[in-house]
Structure 1
Amino acid sequence: MAEVERWGILYCPKKGLGRHRQHWMRIQQELDSRGVLYDMVQSEAADSVERLMTMLIRNGYKTIIIVGGDSALNDAVNCLMREDEEVRNRISLGVIPNGLLNDFARFWGFTEREDAQSVEWLLKQRVRKVDLGCITFKDEEGHDTCLYFLNCVNMGLIADIMNLRRQARQMLGSVKLAFLSSLVVMIFHRHDYKMRIDINSEIIDRKVMTVCVGNALGYGQTPNAVPYSGMLDVSVVYNSSVKQLLNGLWLLVTGRLLNHRSVHPYRARKLNVDEAKKIRIGIDGRLWESPAESFSIHVLPEKINFLIPD
């Protein structure tokens, strides 16, 4: 095998879980056994990912691997998008799953328990240009601002549940227990949110339960979305009875959510959210701390070089 140029690796430990170092040791063993040249930096907190990503970019690494989940990838992408196009074009971004949520990695077939397979795929340096979603809004000072996402934007109940699931996973240390607790809350803590959305010249002006805008899987809510089509998939879910909700949960788990009668799917390049008061919004699994009440979401085709499997 030809020598691969030295990688910059950004390792993002899971928060609140023990034995996280063991996973890095297994990854390190796989890298060393294949003779991979790399330099590793470790994040101490979420706000350090962008600082370390910037350091790797400025030090000239052309392959940057994120050992983390959707939120860490999101931080890396938002950092990369602040660079000039010339800089972005010479950098390839890869992932080894190590997060509480690994949906974008799972879309490509990367799984947390298959580190050897992940390293083998990354070594082949197969690059694909992938789309990004972009949220544009005005900040408190009235300036136009952009936030980018690889996987999805969730608005409403699912953002609430994903936030709870993340907290439960940190406390319980179990994906299954966190998922079950989230389901219980979803049943007994249902809310409707008043929203006004303009999509494909159709105005949705009513209360909704949840909305997902997916560039990829969207945690099962946009199962047909692919991050290379130049389009976004949108699922709008209206309120339903407990029986219908339970049926919807089953369809979500089995990847058939779009078959539910309360789910209204769309495909668009852009949508405008003209009203979203008091609604929780998640971007790639992390809460948007100060969401705007009105914003637009559109797709940016082929913006990031991403390392994919064979």
Structure 2
Amino acid sequence: MNEGLGRTLVIANPAAHSGDGAAAAERVKRFFSSHANATDGFELRLTQAPGDGMRMARVSADFDTIVALGGDGIIHEVANGLMSVASRERPALAVVPVGSGNDFARTIGAATNDPIAALGQILRGRRRELDLGHVASDTGESGYFVQTLSFGLDAAIALDTTYRRAAQTRQKGSGLFATSGVKILSKVRGEASGYPSRVTMDGEKDVRLNSIVFAVQNGPTYGGGFRICPDAEPYDGSLDLCYNVSVPALPHVLALFALARTGRHVGSRAIATRRVRHLHIEFLEREPPCQVDGEPLHGRTYDVEVRPRSLALIAPAQ
């Protein structure tokens, strides 16, 4: 058996990055066909609709490695599908990032929108045990996240970027997130309207918040590079939080939004950060926008926890 990838399944989203995923999938196919010693045989499967990546990964126990090719969305789907496979049979995860945001790729140091460079990193890579976040809401919806979960204005912005990508916008990455931010924040008048909430962190006494931003991160960035939790690590057995402890006037909100590009927002007195293993959050008056790795989630009460060392990840060796 090949000591590297073994039996390999490539799950590719051909629509990723405005259709670049299709060409990237062909390049990966040609690479593996001409480098027979890289695997113990491979298959390429293309997704056609949302959820296909998850369904394909659920029935992948006959493989040693699953390569997710596309943006953060396909990585999210594949990770969730892999978690349905018994742990002793679960393949390792590798990623060929071809997307607009590429936040998970940024977290692990993977080459973005360059399939051959990403394959080289995979073949020279090392196995690491990747933490995942898990979220369950009072609607019965639940799932894992590899990078980000958030509630409030930032979730509304993230979801707007998802919808605009689906509509084939030409903007990408942090520029797309920034313009969605301006769009969402322009609808706010005077003081940003928060979402009253009751939050329990690691079983401590609950706290009351008026949440306009509440981010739960496995990695440091969302929105194509906004460093919402600059110190988050996906291998440390914890999740990082960033949330507001006061509700600033709109000009201050806009300033914090700009500072988040580089992580400097955490110096504001309006912002708190901490690490947790478990979080319970109840929104007391109305349901907030919620996104999990860029996909919508619904409910007013959520239980969130870290699942340490959930997936074997073939990560770049640096």
Q: Same fold (TM over 0.5)?
A: yes
Question: Which of 45, 50, 66 is 1:46 aligned to?
Answer: 50
SS at match of 2:119: helix
SS at match of 1:46: coil
Question: Which of 185, 188, 209 is 1:187 aligned to?
Answer: 185
CA 21–212 in structure 1, closer or farther in 2 if over 3 Å, else same = same
Aligned counterpart, 1:68: 70
CA 2–153 in structure 1, closer or farther in 2 if over 3 Å, else same = closer
Query: Cα distance, 1:146 vs. partner?
Result: 4.3
CA 193–111 in structure 1, closer or farther in 2 if over 3 Å, else same = farther
Matches of 2:56 and 2:87, distance apart in 1: 20
CA 3–307 in structure 1, closer or farther in 2 if over 3 Å, else same = closer
SS at match of 2:18: coil
Amino acid at match of 1:274: E
Q: Deviations over 1:169-213 (max 9, x none)?
A: 343222166334213224313442122111252433232111001
Q: Quick check: 1:153 aligned with 2:156? A: no
Unaligned runs of 5+ in 1: none
SS at match of 1:298: strand
Question: Which of 275, 283, 289 is 2:292 aligned to?
Answer: 283
Aligned counterpart, 1:209: 212
Query: Cα distance, 1:304 vs. partner?
Result: 0.7
CA 130–49 in structure 1, closer or farther in 2 if over 3 Å, else same = same
Query: Cα distance, 1:2 vs. partner?
Result: 7.3
Are the equivalent residues in 2 in contact too, given 1:251–1:260 (CA < 8 A)?
no
Matches of 1:233 and 1:267, distance apart in 2: 5
SS at match of 1:257: helix
SS at match of 2:231: coil
Amino acid at match of 1:97: P
Unaligned runs of 5+ in 2: none
Matches of 2:3 and 2:273, distance apart in 1: 46
CA 262–115 in structure 1, closer or farther in 2 if over 3 Å, else same = same
Question: Which of 270, 274, 284 is 1:266 aligned to?
Answer: 274
Please show how residues 219-230 of structure 1 align to structure 2 within 5 Å.
219=222, 220-230=227-237
Tell me the matched-pair count. Answer: 300
Matches of 1:225 and 1:81, distance apart in 2: 22
Q: Deviations over 1:8-50 (max 9, x none)?
A: 1000123693454233334444444544442100000112112
Aligned counterpart, 1:294: 301
Aligned counterpart, 1:5: 6
Query: Cα distance, 1:234 vs. partner?
Result: 0.6
Q: Deviations over 1:156-175 (max 9, x none)?
A: 11111011112223432221
Root-mean-square deviation over aligned CA pairs: 2.4
| Percent of aligned positions that are identical | 23
Matches of 1:206 and 1:22, distance apart in 2: 47
Are the equivalent residues in 1 in contact too, given 2:21–2:70 (CA < 8 A)?
no
SS at match of 2:51: helix
Moved over 6 A (4+): none
Query: Cα distance, 1:278 vs. partner?
Result: 1.7
